[in-house]
Structure formats: C-alpha cells, structure tokens
Amino acid sequence: MLRVQIHFLLQNIMDINEQAAASAIPNRRKTPVFVHGSSQRQYFAFPKFMMDYILKNPKSWKLWKKLIQSCKWFFDKNPIVVIPCLHFVNFHKINGSSTCSTQHCNYVPDRPIELINAPFKLWITELLEIVDGGGATAKYLIPRIYKCDAENMYLLNQLFTVDEFAFLTPKVLDPIFYATRIFDKNKKLVSFEKILESLPQIQAIDYYFNRDGLDVTPDTVKKIVEMEHVKKFYRTALQNISPNFDFDAFSNFMLENKQISFVLAFYEETITEEYRVKVKAFVEKLKTEDYGNHRRPEIYFGDINLVNDNNGGEDGIINP
C-alpha cells in the first residue's frame, strides 16, 4: 500500500498543495517544511519519511522540475539544476562550462556556468560536449553532475575509469568519442569491443582509435560484428584505424549490412603498405557493388575519399 501511495505522489506531485489544502487533516498532523532564509512554512499531507524519500530519489528530471516549482524546499535541501546541455569547449569564446539558454540545446552555449565551489549539481538532459586538450576535464566535471541523461555526446581527448564512463553514458544514443581513453580497474585500456558492449542502447557511433592501437585486439572485429545492436546502427564512423584491425572481416560485415552508413578513415602513419593494398582492392569492389538505395561506404586515406572521386560528395556515388 505504501508503494502505491509513493508512486501516486511521484506521478501527481503538482497536486500536492491542492490535496493538502483540501484535506481535513490539521496542520499539527501534516509535515512542515521550511525554505532557507525564509520564515514561510509550507505543509504537506504526507509523512516526513515519504517526503525525504522523494527528495533524495527524484525519478526523472521532468518530475524534479515539477517538484522544485511546487515547493522551494526541495531545491533548498537538494540543489539540483536541470539544464539541456553542458558544453566545455576551450576553443569557444566562453572559456569553461556553459549551456544553452533555450529550453532545448541549440548548440549556442550563451549561458556560462561557474562550477568552482558551486553549491549545486547539474542534471543534463540532452547533450554533453567536452572539447579540451587537458584530458582530465571530465574528472573535474563529474563530481558536479548529479545525473547525465544526454542522448548525444562528444568527448575529445578525455580519460575515464570504467565507472566514470558508465556514469555519463547510460542514455547516450549517438556518441562521438575522439581520442578518448577508458581504463579498467587494473588501469588497462579498455578495447573498442568492450566499449560497444557497455553501450547496448546506442544507435550509431563515431570513434577515433588511439594512436598506439591498444584499444584494438585480435578479436575486436570478430566480436563487434556478432553484436546484434551493432547490426542495427544507422551510422558507423571509424578513424585512425590501425593495422591490427581485421579489415577482411569488417569489409564482409559492411557488405552484409548495406543499410548502415559506414565511414572509415586511414592515415599514412598508422597503416602498412600491405594493409593499404588490401583496402584499395576492397574499394574497387565497392565501385561495382549493387547498393540499391543505400549509401556506399566512404573510405578515406587522409582527406581523399577513395570510393567517390569528388572527395566524398554524394553526387559521386553511382549505383549500378
């Protein structure tokens, strides 16, 4: 019965004051709450333990916004600020953290957020962007984040533990991980296939492999092509691919899953001549392969798209 009451309260929190006012319970039997710096007292017709549970366990950011609009006591006791996005971009004219002042992220972070000694935590609802050469920015930000529900994420040159990465990515659908490293409890670099395994909800990925190639194992391609959620991606973009990435197995995967938009980028300093010959042979096969209404893979050596003569423009795609 108690669980039913709590659930009812959580789903109908905006009616708290109306319910309390309409009830015949005298104030001495209700739960009084006080807002810091104010002598104003507000009563709720619910037990104190129930109020404390709701305070410490908000079920969604939408519910939390309703709670703090209903009564300032909730924010006073648990200061959580809901924002659509958090941008930390060193190259942006606003140095440090910022968000969009609009209701939803519009990629115009015009509202600076001062997080040093901030008396609140952030609940991110749409996007998290960290573009910084320091590598430890995420570690600085995580203690200041209450929860991250961002579906879009762009992380550049960051270092994470497995737990930190899991904390930030429970809702991400379309991530971009550029030179971002994740380490397990033994401080060993987590492989690409392990990253994909930890994100069964994602629908696409942009990933830039580390220069040392330690995030690719002999079984990387073998494992990822067997993952059911990977087969349902709408886009897979892989950059800085190393010679230990099984291209033969992955090229077969691309041909078997033409509905996925593939982008592969290789760089001179990371591949061997033998690997280059193998890739070019596959490119020639792609030019004659029937792709119907699907987009052919884009395969780059440096800035040159080997599949399309016009450096990757869609007009260069010819379907037989």
Res. 98: pLDDT tops 80: yes
CA distance 262 to 254: 7
CA distance 141 to 97: 9
Q: What is the pLDDT of residues 115-154, one digit of tens each?
A: 878 889 999 999 999 987 666 777 788 999 999 999 999 9
Model pLDDT, residue 134: 66
pLDDT band of residue 210 (cuts 50, 70, 90) is: confident
∠ Cα 44 46 49 (to 5°): 115
Count of all residues that appear for the chain in the document:
320
Res. 30: pLDDT tops 60: no
Q: Which residues pair with 235 in a beta bridge?
A: 204, 261
Model pLDDT, residue 182: 94
Token pair 């209700």 in the structure block, residue = 30
∠ Cα 37 38 42 (to 5°): 135
pTM recorded for the entire structure: 0.80
Q: What is the pLDDT of residues 59-75, one digit of tens each?
A: 899 989 988 887 888 88
Nearest to 287 by CA among 275, 274, 277, 296: 296
Is beta strand 261-266 parallel, antiparallel or unpaired with respect to 298-301? parallel
Q: Which residues pair with 82 in a beta bridge?
A: 123
Higher pLDDT: 58 or 135? It is: 58
Question: Is-contact 53 77, C-beta < 8 A?
Answer: no
Token pair 């330690």 in the structure block, residue = 214
pLDDT band of residue 79 (cuts 50, 70, 90) is: very high
Alpha carbon separation from 309 to 61, 290, 293 (Å, rounded): 48, 18, 19
Nearest to 283 by CA among 261, 260, 255, 241: 255
Nearest to 80 by CA among 61, 96, 52: 61
Picking from 3-17, 107-121, 189-203, which range would have the lowest pLDDT averaged per residue? 3-17
CA distance 138 to 158: 7
Which whole number is the average pLDDT over 52-56? Answer: 86
CA distance 188 to 141: 23
Half-sphere exposure of 59 (CA within 13 A, CB side): 11
Structure tokens at 280: 């070019």
